[in-house]
Amino acid sequence: MAIKVSAIETINTLNAIFEKHPNERICVLGTTCCGKSTLQEQIPGTVDMDEALWPQLTKEEEAYICQKPWTREIGDFTRKLVKERVSIKAGHPLFSLILIDSDVLVYLDISDELLAEHCKKRGSNFQDAKNVKNAIEETWNNQRENSERVFYYLYITE
């Protein structure tokens, strides 16, 4: 199911998805600077992947993950750590850059133009965010072809 949504509509749509699947594990995927944290903070009962992962990292792991520019190798390393250390509990949707074992998958997509705007406001590197977005889209497409999950696609418009 694909839906184009504004910020308020995104919150309402996510709440509707969460209400529809209260006993399932939900992963909300989106790139850096797409608005995951802002949305997650406004929806009670949700979890941010960083808040679940960072307290478990060693200083060395954190330093490696925070290297710039973002590379596939950093992404692969982070994905491995997340899969080992983070899990989703039913009724507590998790907002993430990385696909975590789940029953329902929501993809928060964003145009390159809007992503560039968001990156500029946050002082983040657009190319890093775009690289992460490309990796997420690859994961999304692979999962859609090879999985029995329930999928929702939300295209953020603001």
**Domain-wise residue ranges, the chain:** 2-156
Task: Look at domain 2-156 and name its CATH class.
Answer: alpha beta
pTM of the model: 0.87
**If you count them, how many residues does the chain have?**
158
Torsion angle, CA of 74/45/41/60, rounded to 10 degrees?
-30
Q: Between 6 and 149, whose confidence is greater?
A: 149
Which residues touch 99 (CB under 8 Å, ≥6 apart)? 27, 29, 105, 139, 143
Distance CA 148, CA 50 (A): 27
Q: For the chain, how far is it from start to end, CA to CA, in angstroms?
A: 20
Q: Say yes or no to pLDDT of 48 above 70.
A: yes
- The mean per-residue pLDDT over the stretch 15-43 comes to 93
Q: CA angle 107-75-49, nearest 5°?
A: 55
- The mean per-residue pLDDT over the stretch 70-92 comes to 91
Distance CA 63, CA 22 (A): 36
Instruction: Report the mean per-residue pLDDT for the chain.
Output: 90
Per-residue pLDDT at 156: 85
Q: Say yes or no to pLDDT of 3 above 70.
A: no
Distance CA 146, CA 107 (A): 16
Q: CB 64: neighbour CB atoms within 10 A?
A: 15
Tokens of 140: 């999304």
- The mean per-residue pLDDT over the stretch 8-27 comes to 93
Distance, CA of 89 to chain centre? 16
Please compute, for residue 57, the number of CA atoms within 13 A of its CA located in the half-sphere on the CB side: 20
